[in-house]
Amino acid sequence: MVRAFVGSCPGMSRRDQPPGGGGRPDGRPGGRIRRWPVLRQLLGEDPRAEAARSARTDALRPRTADADHVARSVCPYCAVGCGQLVYVRDGRVTQIEGDPDSPISRGRLCPKGAASRQLVTRPTRRTRVLYRRPYGTEWETLDLETAMDMIADRVVATRRQTWQETDAEGRVLRRTLGIASLGGATLDNEENYLMKKLYTALGAIQIENQARI
C-alpha cells in the first residue's frame, strides 16, 4: 500500500525524493525512504511539524550553539533598557538575544533590539573619532584622548564666556545659556542621571532627553 506512493514527485527536492526500491526485504520502508515527507505524514507524524522537516532543517544548529562565551548586556537603542545576552565566538559577536533573566524585558526584544548584532558587527560601523575643522572640507581621524581634550577645552571656554552671575536686577542666576544638551534614544536612565548631574554642576539649565523619536 505504502509502496504506491514511492516514486518521483514533481516539485520535490532531490534530497526528499524517495530512492527507488528503498524498502527492506520484509517490506518495511528503509532509512532513506523513511525520511520521505509524504511517507512520514502517512505514518502519522504531524504534517505541520516533524513530517514537514527536511534532513537539512534537522541538521541546522542555532548560532548560539557554538558560542564560547555569553556576556550580559543592555540594549543600547532606547531607555527601556531590555536585557540582552551577547554570544561570542573567537572574540567575535555571533548573536545577540533577549535575556530571560532580565526583570525588565524577560527575554523579549523588539525588532530593533533583536537586530542589534548588526550595530556591533556591520563593517560600516565607525570605530574612530572623525573631526572636521571649522571651514574644513574633509574629515580627519583623531585619537580619543585628543578628541576628549578638545571637547573639555570648548566646554570650559564656552562656560567662561557665557556665564551669568546675576540678572539685570541683581538677582542671583549662576548659570550659562551657552551649553545645552539633547540626549539620544540610546541613553538609559543611569546615563541620563549622570549627564544631568554633570550639566547642572556646570551651570547649564537647558537639558533634555528623548526616549525615542
> Parallel, antiparallel, or unpaired: how do β-strands 83-89 and 204-209 relate?
unpaired
CA–CA gap between residue 103 and residue 91 (Å, rounded): 28
CB of 106 to ligand SF4, least distance (A): 11
Residue with cell 557665557: 162
Counting every residue, how long is the chain?
213
Q: What is the DSSP letter of 19?
A: P
Closest residue by Cα to residue 36 from 21, 24, 52, 48: 52
Q: What is the DSSP letter of 68?
A: S
If binding is defined by CB under 6 A, does position 86 make contact with ligand SF4?
no
If binding is defined by CB under 6 A, does position 110 make contact with ligand SF4?
yes
Among 6, 82, 86, 93, interactor with ligand SF4 by CB under 6 A: 82
If binding is defined by CB under 6 A, does position 83 make contact with ligand SF4?
no
Closest residue by Cα to residue 5 from 16, 25, 15: 16
Name residues contacting ligand SF4, limited to 113-172 (CB under 6 A): 113
Residue closer to ligand SF4 (CB basis): 33 or 99: 99
Among 33, 39, 40, 77, interactor with ligand SF4 by CB under 6 A: 77
Q: What is the DSSP letter of 18?
A: P
Of the listed pieces 9-17, 77-85, 140-148, 164-172, which binds ligand SF4 according to CB under 6 A? 77-85
Residues contributing to the site for ligand SF4 (CB under 6 A): 75, 77-78, 80-82, 105, 109-110, 112-113
